[in-house]
A = this chain, B = another copy of it.
Amino acid sequence: MAISTRLTCAFGIRHPIVMAPLDAVGGADLAMAVSRGGGLGMLGGGYGDRGWLEAEYAKAGDAPIGCGFITWSMAREPGLLDLALERRPKALMLSFADPEPFARRVLDAGVPLFCQVHSLEHVRRALDVGASAVVAQGVEAGGHGRTQQGTITFVPEVADFLRNAGSDALLIAAGGLADGRGLAAALMLGADGALFGTRYYATREAAAHPDAKAKLLACSGGSTVRTTVYDIVRGKAWPDGYTARLMRNRFVEAWHGRENALVSSQGGVRHAYDDALSDGDFEIANVTVGEAAALIHDLPSAEDLTRRIGEEAEALLSRGADRLD
């Protein structure tokens, strides 16, 4: 028994599960494990570090994985896109800026283009540039995004938009999904599959600090917040309108809502942040996870986890039909 969707058919994967590009947390070990489990693993190209990307690709060999970039950041070193495309990724995902300047190269390389979207305007743009899939991300998601809509309304709204536009682009739901329940719900909302980020952060292969993973496991629903404070302290030049969801901690309590003061005091605070990062002090350093953390209580291998999510969703779809009399 397996769930068959347009996504599983198009990509020859067993489960309609895509791993979110997780920047440096999502290296080759994690991406390969997801693909071994029957999903689509994605290397976290992130802000774009050539040395990191080359090293991870050296590890990955010919493993069937994709790669995702923070578009505005990759744009400062666009050769990274060529580096990724030369590896013939199963999919190339662009997030957080107009995909137009890069879409042609992806398509010309014969690589399916995934565009992350936060509004119907983004969807329109993704279709214009030839995206194979849109990843509709709700506000529950960990990491960067827009403070707009929940996954439970945004996914069906995008599904309606695609249908009305006569588009056959795939629809992948993202934000707040942690298990087979989330995957099954995403399919009911009209998605062809689901993207999991925070859930893969809590796996053995994720390249996150053990104490950051431990903090994630202790999260409950109200433990995260969308904020810009870590972008400010790290000097990341995010475009207007983007915030990142991450765990509340002492640093967030101190600076969230006091962003102007943080900009002014940057030198000293930056120092303390850098120290905390190397010491693994996650009351100061960031644990970039989403609302799904409330549903995560273990640290499995990503391979087992992918199978488990798929099988849970299969059982739910099967039981759902049993409810019909």
Which residues of A approach B to under 8 Å, CB–CB? 1-5, 119-120, 138-140, 148-154, 156-157, 159-160, 175-179, 181-182, 184-190, 220-222, 291-292, 294-295, 314, 316-318, 320-321, 323-325
User: What are the residues of chain B within 8 A of A317 when measuring CB–CB?
Assistant: 317, 320-321, 323-324
Cβ of A322 to closest chain B Cβ, rounded Å: 8
User: Across the interface, do A320 and B323 meet the contact criterion of CB distance under 8 Å?
Assistant: no
Q: How far is the CA of A188 from the CA of B154 in the complex (A)?
A: 17
User: Across the interface, do B152 and A175 meet the contact criterion of CB distance under 8 Å?
Assistant: yes
Q: Count identical subunits in the complex.
A: 2
User: What are the residues of chain B within 8 A of A314 when measuring CB–CB?
Assistant: 324
User: What are the residues of chain B within 8 A of A156 when measuring CB–CB?
Assistant: 178-179, 181-182, 295
Q: How far is the CA of A179 from the CA of B156 in the complex (A)?
A: 10
Cβ-closest chain B residue relative to A2: B325
User: What are the residues of chain B within 8 A of A139 when measuring CB–CB?
Assistant: 150
Cβ of A176 to closest chain B Cβ, rounded Å: 4
Taking A1-B325, A150-B175, A317-B324 as known contacts, 8 extra A-B pairs with beta carbons closer than 8 A to each other, sorted by chain A number, are: A2-B325, A150-B150, A150-B291, A152-B152, A152-B176, A181-B190, A318-B321, A321-B321
Cβ-closest chain B residue relative to A223: B149
Q: How far is the CA of A291 from the CA of B154 in the complex (A)?
A: 9
Cβ of A301 to closest chain B Cβ, rounded Å: 22
User: What are the residues of chain B within 8 A of A222 when measuring CB–CB?
Assistant: 119, 148-149
Cβ-closest chain B residue relative to A186: B185
Residue of B178, B220, B316, B325 touching A188 (CB-CB under 8 A):
B316
User: Across the interface, do B221 and A2 meet the contact criterion of CB distance under 8 Å?
Assistant: no
Q: How far is the CA of A220 from the CA of B323 in the complex (A)?
A: 33
Q: How far is the CA of A278 from the CA of B154 in the complex (A)?
A: 34
Q: How far is the CA of A4 from the CA of B292 in the complex (A)?
A: 28
User: Across the interface, do A323 and B148 meet the contact criterion of CB distance under 8 Å?
Assistant: no
Cβ of A207 to closest chain B Cβ, rounded Å: 25
User: Across the interface, do A323 and B160 meet the contact criterion of CB distance under 8 Å?
Assistant: no
User: Across the interface, do A150 and B151 meet the contact criterion of CB distance under 8 Å?
Assistant: yes
Question: Can you spell out 25 A-B residue pairs with CB atoms less than 8 angstroms apart?
Answer: A3-B324, A4-B324, A5-B323, A119-B221, A138-B150, A140-B149, A140-B152, A149-B222, A150-B151, A150-B175, A150-B176, A150-B291, A152-B152, A152-B182, A153-B221, A153-B294, A153-B295, A156-B295, A181-B188, A181-B190, A184-B188, A185-B189, A187-B323, A317-B317, A320-B321
Residue of B179, B294, B324 touching A2 (CB-CB under 8 A):
B324
User: Across the interface, do A320 and B157 meet the contact criterion of CB distance under 8 Å?
Assistant: no
| A4 touching B323 in the complex, CB below 8 Å, given contacts A149-B222, A182-B152 | yes
User: What are the residues of chain B within 8 A of A176 when measuring CB–CB?
Assistant: 150, 152-153
User: Across the interface, do B3 and A323 meet the contact criterion of CB distance under 8 Å?
Assistant: yes
| A324 touching B318 in the complex, CB below 8 Å, given contacts A148-B221, A176-B152, A295-B160 | yes
